[in-house]
Amino acid sequence: MSSTSADHRALRRAGLIRAVALVLVGLAIAFTATLHESFAFDHWLLSTSLTVIGAVTLVEYWALRSTLESWWVAARAVIAFAAAGALIAVADDVSLALVIVFWAMLTAVITLMRLLRGVQPRRVAVPSALLSLALAVVTLLVREDPVAVIGFFGAYAVIRGVFLGISAFDGGSVGAAPDADTSAPRTESAI
């Protein structure tokens, strides 16, 4: 077994783990809809969701750790953990929404930076960045409605999870971006 095929399999596995985790986060939010009137529950659910997202992003980092670009993935994990930690300090609905806005915006920026550096395929990075930016904008618009905020976060998680799962099975997605150096493994994730 070559190192490249082992890297490819590790990236695919990491993508699938992240996809499953995101879909489960979205489903947990959907199936607890009757509890979303409680700020304490929303607070706990979002903190837990961001912690899970950070943890599964570390799985992706582990698969890419031998590449120079792995620190972008590590930064995404740190941002998710920081957002989960920041939620500890919030005491109102607007602050909770702003944490989600900043997390989504920073995630989109990292995705765009990876696209510009040529380490993430355009057909994966562009939709990922757009989804993250859309979450940030929509959350900012409905920031005073915690039910809408958590609902949009859950929808984002399901859409990103499905998209990531599809791209993990698409053999072309875990490859080099057009005109990019092919010596290092690539990844298709953007959360």
**Mean pLDDT, the chain cut into blocks of 10 residues (191 residues total):** 68 90 96 89 94 95 84 94 95 94 97 89 87 97 94 96 86 42 44 49
Instruction: Identify the residue whose tokens are 């690539």.
Output: 186
pLDDT given at position 150: 95
d(CA 139, CA 161): 19
Residue 107 identity: T
> SS3 for the chain, per residue?
CCHHHHHHHHHHHHHHHHHHHHHHHHHHHHHCHHHCCCHHHHHHHHHHHHHHHHHHHHHHHHHHCCCCCHHHHHHHHHHHHHHHHHHHHCCCHHHHHHHHHHHHHHHHHHHHHHHHCCCCCHHHHHHHHHHHHHHHHHHHHCCCCHHHHHHHHHHHHHHHHHHHHHHHHCCCCCCCCCCCCCCCCCCCCCC
Q: How many C-beta neighbours within 10 Å does residue 172 have?
A: 11
Backbone angles phi, psi at 187, to 5 degrees: -135, 155
pLDDT given at position 5: 67
pLDDT given at position 66: 82
pLDDT given at position 3: 60
Q: Tell how far CA 54 is from the center of its chain.
A: 8
pLDDT given at position 149: 95
pLDDT given at position 171: 57
